[in-house]
Structures are given as structure tokens and as C-alpha cells.
Amino acid sequence: MTSQQEESSRVWTLVGLGLALFSLPIVSEVYHYVVAARTAQNTVLRELVILVLVAVLLYIVRRKEQLGWESVGLNRPKLGNTALWILLALLGVAVAITISLGAIHLFGLRFGSADAKSFEALPVWVRVLIFVRAGIAEEIFYRGYALERLPTFIRSRWIVAGLPLVIFATFHYNQGAGGVLIAFLTGAVMTAVYLRKRNLWVNMITHFLVDFIPNIILPALTRG
């Protein structure tokens, strides 16, 4: 790769980092300001917009940076090892949530979104779409891409690990201080898991299950 190509790749990496770190908060803010009431139609539109942004980022990886899928942790996984680490990640996230809920109760932190009822009123398939999108987009943006590309510009491993985590947690501000705390601690677990295994499949599947099980499976079992 020539110096001109390397410089072009660095520019595209900066574009990719901007997309990875800030596109989700921007889309969410625009959605909340533009949409008067959450409906299945406008929610699906938002999710599709975010998935298009994921596709744009992956295009940058392959065509502009000219790197392989392994450069964002999307290498071919070993099924047994991946399943084991999903279980370990779920355990770690469960501990993080337990600690967070304890702190929320102890300090009386606000936790919960103002539009929680409108979310619960969405059809099940729309909520599942949201969880799938969250598992894919948030892990590719804040773990797979950000953690792999920030070292190009930042030497400190602590800043590389902490910057996406802080942005990711702050992005959950509409759920109150409690929501930010949960996002920070669970995000810390997911960051640690990714840095240990460099297997984004573990992160994406774990993230999906953490949303899907308590919001879809457990309520269905309770009703049953």
C-alpha cells in the first residue's frame, strides 16, 4: 500500500469512527424530536436506517480501508468456544446488572424510559427487530470497529477502551442515571469480552439475548 493509499485509508477510518461513535445518538435524537408518537411503522423505519448505517460502515471496512472481516472481529467462529463465551458473557452481564440494580435502589437513581409503555405496545416482531438491530449495530459500532480502529490514533489502551464505553453509556441518558449506569457496567463486560476474544459474534449474540430473554421470553412464560 502506497503512502497516498495509507493516508486515504486513515481518512476513511476517521469517517468510520465518526459513524461508529456518533451515528446512533444522532439518529435517536432526530427520531425523538421528529416523531410525535412511537408507532410500528416509524420504529421499523428507524431500525432500517440504523442497519443501513451498519452496511455503510462495513462498506468502509471492505472497500475503503480494504481490510477483512476479522479486522472488526467477524472472523469465522469456532462454535463450541463461541457458545462457551456467550454463556460466560451472559453471566458477567447478569452480575453487572445485579450490581447496577443494587446501586439504583441504594442511591435512588432514576431508571426507566418515558416511552416505556409505547415500547411495550409495539408488536412482538417489531421489538424483536429492535433487539436484533441493537445486538448487531451497537456491538459493531462500539466494540468491533471502535476498539479496533481507535489505536490508529490513540496510544492509551485505557482511553481506547473507555471512550466508546462512555459514549455508549451516555447514549442511554433517556433511561435516567440508572440506565446510564447499567449501560456502562454491562458495556464494560462486553468490552472486556471482546478485547479478550476478538470474537464479535459472542458480543452480538449475548447482547441480543440480554434484551430478548427478559423482554420477550420471560413475559411469555409468565403469561403462560
Predicted local distance difference test score (pLDDT) of residue 114: 67
- Separation of alpha carbons 40 and 34, rounded Å: 15
Looking at the predicted structure, is the pLDDT value of residue 89 above 80?
yes
Q: What is the tens place of the pLDDT at every residue in 16-56?
A: 999 999 999 999 999 988 987 889 999 999 999 999 999 99
Contact 64, 12 (CB under 8 A): yes
pTM: 0.95
CA-CA-CA-CA torsion sign (171, 172, 173, 177): negative
Looking at the predicted structure, is the pLDDT value of residue 117 above 90?
no
Predicted local distance difference test score (pLDDT) of residue 184: 97
Q: Which residue type is seen at 142? A: Y
| Alpha-carbon separation of residue 43 from 54, 71, 129, 161, 214 (angstroms) | 17, 31, 10, 31, 20
Predicted local distance difference test score (pLDDT) of residue 37: 84
Q: What is the tens place of the pLDDT at every residue in 95-115?
A: 999 999 999 999 999 998 767
Share of the chain above pLDDT 70, in %: 98
3-state secondary structure the chain: CCHHHHHHHHHHHHHHHHHHHHHHHHHHHHHHHHCCCCCHHHHHHHHHHHHHHHHHHHHHHHHHCCCCHHHHCCCCCCHHHHHHHHHHHHHHHHHHHHHHHHHHHHHCCCCCCCCHHHHHCCCHHHHHHHHHHHHHHHHHHHHHHHHHHHHHCCCCHHHHHHHHHHHHHHCCHHHHHHHHHHHHHHHHHHHHHHHHHCCHHHHHHHHHHHHHHHHHHHHHHHHC
Q: What is the tens place of the pLDDT at every residue in 168-222?
A: 999 999 899 999 999 999 999 999 999 999 999 999 999 999 999 999 999 888 8
CA-CA-CA-CA torsion sign (7, 152, 25, 134): positive
